[in-house]
Amino acid sequence: MNPNSTTDDTQFSLLEKKPKKSQLFQKIFFFTLGVSSLSGWNAILTGLSYFADQYDGRNVYFILPIPNFISLCLIGLFLPRISSLLSMFFRIVWSLVILCVLLILLPLIALEMHSALGYWLCLITIFIMGIFSSLQQNSSIGMSGILGPEYVNVFFIGTGASGTIITIFRLISLAAIDSEKSIFLYIGIAVLWNIGAIIMYFAFTKTPQYRKIIQAHKKGRKSVLVHDQIITEDEPDNVIQNDSLISDIINSEIANQINQTVDSNPKTDHEPQNKFKDQISIERMNVIQTLIWINKVAFPIPLLIVILYVQTFMMFPGVAFQKSFDSDFINWGQCFISLGYNMGDTLGKFLAGNRKLFNLQILIGIFLGRFVFYYTYIAIAKGTLDANWISYLNTFLFGTLNGFITTGYMILGPEKTNEGFVKEKIGFVSGFSLCFGIMLGTFLALPFSNISK
């Protein structure tokens, strides 16, 4: 039994006794974080036709998402290491604030600047958006991993609901507005979700769950790795815990002060650590060391997430949208396909909240079974299966299994360890794996781009 886990276990037992009303607020907060983490990008994807109109002759549908993929993957790759340098307040609140500004700015650039300069400014803006989107999304995944599977589940239900909400408003705009400038409606919805998440964050800092996250961060700063075993120096009894919002904001400063203290007091602070010759400070591990260690702990979850999203994005949306519709129904038809996928994805993530429904073997089996959809999608694109309802049902089932497997993997990953700060880093790596899988799947889908012809 690890004596260092006593504090975490005690805090968890206290959380169990909290009123259901308090628990409900915290779950709504993580749901809101889930919606806000993807609502901005979903708004842009839904309104890509707007940018295609502004920059006629440019391959907007293929080129515009690329800067987002690059920045998402870059930040996701480095976040397990740089998270200690950026406070949680910055990674969540400031990222959401900056995303609000950029979301408003992006369509305005396209509206006012139709030149090559405007096009490149849009690409740069999307790249910067990807940076802050990755910080917010992966940090939220890490936070939920510390708190437990129910919070992971609620967060990912929010990510599924994000696509569903935007698609519903897309259908409303087709019926009522019928204008490509309805992108401003989608952007407005995304900004409102971001503002809601920002406001709720300040209330969240007063909860026991927030203090549990801060405690996990403090333990991580005091821990070293010895032959893949975590050793944590005991904190003196007279240390006063400061779990206020201020401690969150200056989180990175505290870490630097601790490192300086260790360097300036080798006889005292290094005394317990000198018992181990091969120790590595977790706080000071470089990017490669951190990634190797976390992937060893979480294996095979990060790899499975990459493969899952390669499988998904090789078919959706590229091949799925090659379904033929009448010319006056094509926008509606593609919206119904998108809605079917997002509703299925949300349902699958909801079902994965029942931990008894899956284990690693079951999830891998479902993943392998999903390859049957390659036949159905190609048959639909070629017109062999031509009925519209078959396309909608096919995509709904495809999305349901995607959501179920995704949330299952995201729950299984943090279960690989009992240490809160390691659970968080597993969340970071899992978030990177998801983005990397989407990028790979999108590029690997290119050979299928004209399969309907």
SS3 for the chain is CCHHHHHHHHHHHHHHCCCHHHHHHHHHHHHHHHHHHHHHHHHHHHCHHHHHHHCCCCCHHHHCHHHHHHHHHHHHHHHHHHHHHCCHHHHHHHHHHHHHHHHHHHHHHHHHCCCHHHHHHHHHHHHHHHHHHHHHHHHHHHHHHHHCHHHHHHHHHHHHHHHHHHHHHHHHHHHHCCCHHHHHHHHHHHHHHHHHHHHHHHHHCCCHHHHHHHHHHHHHHCEEEECCEEEECCCCCCCCCCCCHHHHHCHHHHHHHHHHHHHHCCCCCCCCHHHCCCEEEHHHCCHHHHHHHHHHHHCCHHHHHHHHHHHHHCCCCCCHHHCCCCCCCHHHHHHHHHHHHHHHHHHHHHHCCCHHHCCHHHHHHHHHHCCHHHHHHHHHHHCCCCCHHHHHHHHHHHHHHHHHHHHHHHHHCHHHCCCHHHHHHHHHHHHHHHHHHHHHHHHHCHHHCCCCC
443 has pLDDT over 60: yes
Percent of the chain with pLDDT over 90: 58
pLDDT for res 229: 75
pLDDT band per the 50, 70, 90 thresholds, residue 20: low
pLDDT in tens, 148-158: 999 999 999 99
Reported as a single tens digit per residue, the pLDDT across 236-248 is 444 434 444 444 5
Which one is predicted more confidently, 398 or 179? 398
Q: Which residue has the higher pLDDT, 221 or 420?
A: 420
The model's pLDDT over 58-92, given as tens digits with 9 standing for 90+, comes to: 888 888 889 999 999 999 999 988 888 889 999 99
Write down the pLDDT at residue 228.
64
Tens of pLDDT along 35-64?
A: 999 999 999 988 888 898 899 888 888 888
Total-model pTM: 0.85
Region 104-112: mean pLDDT is: 94
Q: What's the chain's average pLDDT?
A: 85
pLDDT over 50 at 258, yes or no: no
